[in-house]
Structure 1
Amino acid sequence: MNRERLKSTILFLLVISSAILTYMVWSYQPEFSQVDTSIESTSNIGQGESLEFGSVMRAYQLIWVDGNSVKGTIKEDAVVGVREFLKDTEIENIDIYNNMNRLTPDVKEDGGEEFLIVDYPSEMPSKSLFQVLGFSYEGALPDYSFDRIIVDIASPKVTFYMLNEALEQVAVAETDIDSSYLLSIVEEYEDSFEDYVGIITNQKTSNNKTAIYGPEAPGAVSIEHFLMTQIGIDTMNDILFMGDEIEVNKNDDVYVYEGTHNLSTYNPNTYNFVYTNLDESLSSNRNSHQTIQRSFDFLNSHGGLENEHMLFDYEADGNESTYRYTLNGYAVFSDEISSVVTTKYGNNALFEYQRPLLNISAEVPNDEMKSLARLEDVRYQIALNEDLDLQKVSKITIGYDMQFSDVQTELNLLHFTPQWYVKYNDEWMRFNEGGLH
């Protein structure tokens, strides 16, 4: 009898031990804190949640001019944060002038100037801006595009001077915002600002309101390393072809997927994917704001954008919206890899869609830095180059050059190297050793 009880007790203990060990295995998480090989997660291209339009419709830098003091920032918390306090503003009047003589911000009692400069990478519709800001206006907003706003904070009430990229027109929008209130908001982000400087490239950029601004001496900027993963071509075609029968061909290195109503191509070397809706054309009678909204809604419907994307360009002639990925506030460019999301929207539906089929998935720890030249030295070297015309330079900023890693490993590694980028003759180009590439 005792022997049977002993067996039962041992069997019971074995069952309990097995249950405890099973639980420990299932719940076990390895501890790597002793080794500095952490990989930090980051947002993925094309796998994001639904976004607000204001997260992509944003400026790339904010400059604060106070007399002889010039400070600027690219940090999103400051550039976007300031505008969050301007909602429910009322536009009391807005007029468009075909010369720059109306660009006349007020001066303070001591005779000094104080204004903000909000710079966008290309011309944007004013209607899109006012929607993001939540401004109200009793009249009909004009179809006017701008790439810079001069915000007058020396006068009692804030006035927006919206300049077009050619510096030939200015829209003057008077608001009910107290300048002292806006200035107090800007001062809360003062730690985000660094020394900026304005440079002159031609007669139109010869004053402190139209000059080209950038960090005066950026010094050493970090080189970033990220892992990448590929998005399946079949996944994209399933989303866009909507059941259309697909015939696959290969033309050199490019794969061609053709259906009755749809066509797509994919280059595995650059990860570039292009989709065309064969039932649509580019003709449209909508204004730019409406087209951008439809483009954004399409991308938002399948997670085609991330918070790090910025509406970087809009071409009205082709109804083309371009969204560029940003990293640490800097726009990402590449000569090797597809780096932008673009849409062309027709009269009734999407006409063309281009994007990279890759995810930037995780950051790899890295201590590398690169020293960048002073902004004035960049201007000087462009001026010395006999093959370049300094007068064709309209913007200069720091960006990241995205490249494949030269190191052969099992990891798909991308390098992001800081570089100066110049908008030259309406095209963004990388500055390197005195030339543009």
Structure 2
Amino acid sequence: MYRETVKSIILFTLVVSSAILTYMVWSYQPEFSQIDTSIESTSNTGQGEPLPFESVMRAYQLIWVNGEEARGTIDEDAVVGVREFLDGTRITDINVYNNMNRLDPTVKEDGSEEFLIVDYPSEMPAKSLFQILGFEYEETLPDYKFDRIVVDIASPQVTFFMLNEALDRVAVAQTDMESDYLLSIVNDYEDSFEDYTGLITNQQTANNKTAIYGPDAPGEVSVMSFLSAQISIDTINDILFMEDEVSVSQNENVYVYEAENGLATYNTDTYNYVYTNLNESLSSERDPHQTIQRSFNFLNSHIGLAPEHILFDYEEEGNQSIYRYTLNGYAVFSDEIAMTISTKYGSNALFEYERPLLYINAQVPSEETEKLARIEDVRYEIALNEALDLQKVSKITIGYNLRFSEEQTELNLVNFTPEWYVKYDGEWLRYNEGGLQ
């Protein structure tokens, strides 16, 4: 009797152990970044994390003009690091002028100028800028949009000249900040600056304060390779549709999800997901600063943004905030994969939410490089192209073109290839052999 009981207990233990081991084998998922020490982990853009607003509203380059010399940097430590020391600065006066005559930084005793240029990818509200800088102003800030700041550091106190994208208006903000103090901060990042060239493309960019700046001769730039993974569409749907009953249909590569209060589509080729709130409309009289804040708060409380995202554009007509992924300071574009996160806000709530359901997982070592032309050659080739109008060029910068690797495996390897990108007639296009795509 005792022997039979012991045998039964042992048999039961073996059965339970076998079941546990079987489950562990079936549910095991390998962690590539832990197994292969040559793969470097990076931020997971699909899981998101709370971010401060100043981390997404940032410039893409900083240029230091001293006399005839121009040097610049896209290094985030420099571009963002400088502004961290400006908190508490007081604006003593600010005025908006409907011409560029007031763009007149101080000329030093030797006849030269010294100023900084801070470039944003598109127009941003001045109220948003002063919020992240922590500037103090006793009166009401004007409703003004800018995409470039010329910072006068040749005068005793710093003056900000904020230029709009059309280069026909300027806001002049005088501060109590000492220029020597700001210059000492910039000097700490001097090693990150490289030779930049200023280009003239039309009458508005014909001087050193309004010229288009970019790296003079970038030469060989590394191609970056990463593993990618897909965000669960069920997770996204659960968050956005809440308790609604959702039906799904498919039309070739596009899935459509419908519910009483919402509609979503997902393109399996481009990984692009779009959700529309059927209870909201686009009509809104909210100012851009408020809309951007609501957009950011929504994304911050959902799966949303990664530290690599920047507020890349704001389209006032549709109340649309557009965030773009960056890598090593370069904005990421793609001809085949959706790479922006955007929101459109209505009168009371979110109207539309669009995002890619692909995120970058871990870096894979690569020695591949891409040789980039001199920026002067890019301008020259555009000028020679009879199908293009050089006067419509407003920005030229280096960015990454994201594509799936031609040597595709089950690892979903993607490559970030450096390319020249040109803002042409308001649209960012890739420069390729003298043309724009």
Please confirm whether the aligned pair reaches a TM-score higher than 0.5, indicating the same fold. yes
1:195 maps to which residue? Answer: 195
Aligned to 1:119: 119
Checking the alignment, whether the CA contact within 8 Å between 1:54 and 1:132 is kept in structure 2 is: yes
AA partner of residue 266 (structure 1): Y
The residue that corresponds to 2:159 in the other structure is 159
Correspondence for 1:65: 65
1:26-425 to 2 correspondence within 5 Å? 38-425=38-425
How far the C-alpha of 1:247 sits from its partner, in A, is: 0.8
Q: Deviations over 1:199-238 (max 9, x none)?
A: 0000110000000000000011000000001011111000
Structure 2: 5+ residue runs without aligned partners? 1-31
- SS of equivalent residue, structure 1 residue 260: coil
* Post-superposition CA distance 1:70-95 (Å, at most 9, x none): 10000000000000000001111100
Change in CA separation of 1:303 and 1:252 when aligned onto 2, cut-off 3 Å: closer
**Given residue 432 of structure 2, which amino acid in structure 1 is its aligned partner?**
N
In 1, the alpha carbon distance for the partners of 2:315 and 2:58 equals 17
* Residue 16 (structure 2) aligns with: none
Q: Distance in 2 between matches of 1:364 and 1:408?
A: 14
Shift in Å, 1:111: 1.5
> What is the CA-CA distance between 1:36 and the residue it aligns to?
8.5
Deviation of 1:264 (Å): 0.3
> What SS class does the counterpart of residue 429 from structure 2 fall into?
strand
Partners of 1:36 and 1:153 in 2: CA distance: 49
Task: State the partner residue of 2:9.
Answer: none
Farther off after superposition, 138-147 or 247-256:
247-256
Deviation at 1:50, TM superposition (A): 0.3
Quote the Cα distance in structure 1 between the aligned partners of 2:249 and 2:409: 31
CA distance in 1, matches of 2:40, 2:383: 42
Aligned equivalents of 1:285 and 1:146: distance in 2? 20
**Whole-angstrom distance in 2 between the partners of 1:375 and 1:36:** 39
CA contact (8 A) 1:74 1:330 kept: yes
Secondary structure of 2:137's aligned partner: coil
Q: What is the TM-score of this pair, normalised by structure 1?
A: 0.91
State whether residues 149 and 161 of structure 1, in contact with CA within 8 Å, keep that contact through their aligned partners in structure 2. yes
Q: State the Cα deviation string for residues 309-334 of structure 1 (Å, max 9, x = none).
A: 00000000100000000001000000
Contact 1:393/1:423 (<8 A) preserved:
yes
8 Å contact 1:50–1:303 — kept in the other structure?
no
Residue type at the aligned position of 2:56:
V
Deviation, 1:48, is 2.4
Does the CA contact (< 8 Å) of 1:404 and 1:414 recur in 2?
A: yes
Q: How many Å separate the matches in 2 of 1:387 and 1:111?
A: 41
**1:325/1:332 contact within 8 Å kept:** yes
CA distance in 1, matches of 2:408, 2:288: 46
Taking structure 2 as the reference length, the TM-score comes to 0.91
Amino acid of the residue matched to residue 293 of structure 2?
Q
The alpha-carbon distance between structure 1 residues 372 and 36, as it changes in their structure 2 partners (threshold 3 A), is farther
Partner of 2:427: 427
| SS of structure 2 residue aligned to 1:50 | coil
Find the aligned partners of 1:258 and 1:85 in 2 and give their Cα distance.
49
Conservation of the 8 A alpha-carbon contact between 1:37 and 1:365: no
Q: Distance in 1 between matches of 2:66 and 2:352?
A: 45
Task: Return the letter of the residue paired with 1:203.
Answer: Q
- CA distance, structure 2, for counterparts of residue 252 and residue 358 of structure 1: 20
Over residues 413-432 of structure 1, what are the superposed CA-to-partner deviations in whole Å (9 max), with x where a residue is unaligned? 10100000000000000000
What is the distance in 1 between the residues matched to 2:194 and 2:326?
Answer: 20
Q: Deviations over 1:364-406 (max 9, x none)?
A: 0001111100000000000000100000000000000000111
**How far apart, in 2, do the equivalents of 1:409 and 1:196 lie?**
40
Please list the CA deviations of residues 121-145 of structure 1 after superposition, one character each: whole Å capped at 9, or x if unmatched.
Answer: 0000000000000001111001100
Q: Which amino acid aligns with 1:52?
A: P
What is the CA–CA distance in structure 1 between the aligned matches of 2:76 and 2:434, rounded to whole Å? 30
RMSD (Å), alpha carbons: 1.5
Cα distance in 1, alignment partners of residues 268 and 405 from structure 2: 16
SS where residue 400 of structure 1 aligns?
strand
CA distance in 1, matches of 2:332, 2:75: 15
SS in 1 for 2:101: helix
Q: What is the rounded CA distance, in whole Å, between the counterparts of 1:297 and 1:95 in structure 2?
A: 30
Match in the other structure for 2:6 = none
Structure-2 residue corresponding to 1:16: none
1:142 match: secondary structure:
coil
Amino acid in structure 1 at the alignment position of 2:140: A
Letter of the 1:366 partner, please give it.
Answer: S
Output the CA distance in 1 between the equivalents of 2:263 and 2:376. 47
Question: Residues 219 and 119 (structure 1 numbering): CA distance in 2 closer, same or farther, change over 3 Å?
Answer: same
SS at match of 1:130: helix
What SS is found at the alignment partner of 2:428?
strand
Aligned sequence identity (%): 73
Q: Tell me by how many angstroms 1:286 deviates.
A: 1.0
| Residue 25 of structure 2: aligned partner | none
What are structure 1's unaligned runs of at least 5 residues? 1-31
Structure 1 residue 252: Cα displacement: 2.5
CA apart distance, 1:359:
1.4
User: C-alpha distance in 1, partners of 2:175/2:408?
Assistant: 57
- Tell me how many residue pairs correspond in the alignment: 406
CA distance in 2, matches of 1:408, 1:177: 54
In the TM superposition, residue 303 of structure 1 has moved relative to its aligned partner by: 3.4
Displacement of 1:108? 1.4
